[in-house]
Copies of this chain bind each other. A is one copy, B any other.
Amino acid sequence: MERRKFIYNTAITAAASTLPLKGKWPSSQNEKLKVAIIGTGMRGQGHLDLLLRRDDCEVAAICDINEKMINRSKEIVKKHNATNPVIYDKGPEDYLRLLEKEDIDAVIIATPWRWHVPMAIASLKKNVYTGLEVSGAGSLDECWELVRASQASDGHLYFLENVCFRRDVMAVLNMVRQDMFGEIIHMECGYQHDLRGVKFNDGITPYNSGVEFGEKGYSEASWRTEHSVHRNGDLYPTHGIGPVSQYVNINRGNRITHLTSMASKSRGLHNYIVDHEKGGADHPNAKVEFALGDKVTTMLRTASGETIVLHHDTNLPRPYSLAFRVQGTKGIWMRDNQSIHIEGISASHRWEDAQPYLDKYDHPLWKKYEKRAVGAGHGGMDFFLIHSFVEHAKAGKNPPFDAYDAATWMAITPLSEMSIQKGSSSISMPDFTEGKWMDSKVTFALDDSY
């Protein structure tokens, strides 16, 4: 445990600060960051690959309950000629044994949503730099527990919201910071992705292969779909709210004060089962009643007076869109029509193609690392996510998206469920920072380092 203690020994005093800790890592230039991955499904395998591409990381251990996924992970390790990680595959609690036995610096958690917070808390308690994959929360209390564990720990919670690193999202962040849009007034975002072929499969291959889920499903269909059966709310808010939170400094001078959600009827998942060649009206799953409205829309307001419309739309045939719109007193960007309008530059009342602006204001981080990002997941942005995670872990620095952000963004899920249950009532967002948002400072992507 010595090395880890060394890495973190001054992190305690910096926990409430945003100042970087300098020179804490590596203790030797040849020493690598020792990382474990808990959950090596499709997402965890992506992270494994990105970690093993780097010369400053070692994947010391992996943990999963599924033999097939463990075997796929071993193939990735082999491909990289990397040291074999210790395997933890003795059931759903085996991650505790990993955290107890392995002297690791950092962990990445990429398990089904229900395991996210318990695993992150266990990891924080071991003072391990903790990377947590995104999801909505199961409850508000869970969000508070995560915050308390982070506060009690000298580890750090890095909430792995990759879309914050998307190239256009970061170019627009650059534009926002250069006042191109003036004072921000309104934003839209969300998760609009036809997941019917993800929520159901044939139990063997992950995508578009059948109408099974739960025990008969494979990969995400084995656990993700149950949320659509039982819950009606924005189940996956962070790819939308994460990026726009950077535009208006949520939890760093600003905060979300309240929201209201509305859900449509639910038709898409049932229809998919009935209409599928492997399904039909007599298929057992045709009897399942899905709670999740096909379209869930949430409006959020901030302490600074901005409004945000957040979309959730995963059960209907539609092209993928995260629906970004950023609108201020001087201009507006919309992703769906790939257009921009800047007062005084664009012709009055006319759209312009956004791409020349996105090129001109390309974030320095993308300019610097563009080539290293080639081939990384989701258009390269996963490289930046893992790069940022690793560099922050190495430096023992506070992450740009911390436990307060994780709690705030994840809380949208149970809050939207409450709002919908109460006929779209207005629901307050807890201040998970307990006032610290008023003087916390922005740290995300201030330069080209990571």
Contacts and interface: CB of A to CB of B under 8 A. Distances in A.
A313 interface: yes
Contacts of A331: 317-318
Given A301-B262, A317-B330, A295 B185 contact: yes
Contacts of A264: 185-186, 301, 305-307
Contact of A336 (B268, B293, B317, B337): B337
A423 B419 CA distance: 13
Interface in A261-278: 262-265, 267-268, 271
A342 B317 CA distance: 8
A53 interface: no
Interface in A11-49: none
Contacts of A449: none
Nearest to A263: B307
Contacts of A294: 185-186, 329
A76 interface: no
Contacts of A336: 334, 336-337
A166 interface: no
Contacts of A267: 183, 185, 329
A198 to B, nearest CB: 12
Interface string A292-329: 01110101010011110100010011111000000111
A262 B307 contact: yes
A174 interface: no
Contacts of A185: 264-265, 267-268, 294-295, 316
Copies in the complex: 2
Interface residues of A, number: 53
A260 B424 contact: yes
A263 B299 CA distance: 10
A349 B192 CA distance: 11
Nearest to A332: B318
A295 B265 contact: no
B317 A332 contact: yes
Nearest to A328: B316
A262 B319 contact: no
Contacts of A328: 316
Given A313-B186, A329-B267, A301 B424 contact: yes
A293 to B, nearest CB: 8
Given A265-B306, A307-B264, A320 B349 contact: yes
A194 interface: yes
A117 to B, nearest CB: 28
Nearest to A338: B337
Nearest to A325: B336
A258 interface: yes
Interface string A159-196: 00000000000000000000000110110000000100
Interface string A348-364: 01110000000000000
A285 interface: no
A260 B330 CA distance: 27
A83 interface: no
Top 8 nearest A-B pairs by Cβ distance?
Answer: A265-B305, A186-B295, A317-B343, A424-B426, A264-B307, A262-B299, A337-B337, A260-B260
Given A186-B295, A260-B262, A423-B426, 8 more contacts: A185-B265, A186-B294, A294-B329, A295-B327, A297-B309, A299-B424, A318-B331, A337-B338
21 contacts: A182-B271, A183-B267, A185-B267, A185-B268, A185-B294, A186-B295, A260-B424, A260-B426, A262-B299, A262-B307, A264-B305, A268-B329, A294-B329, A295-B307, A316-B328, A317-B329, A317-B331, A317-B332, A318-B332, A318-B349, A334-B336
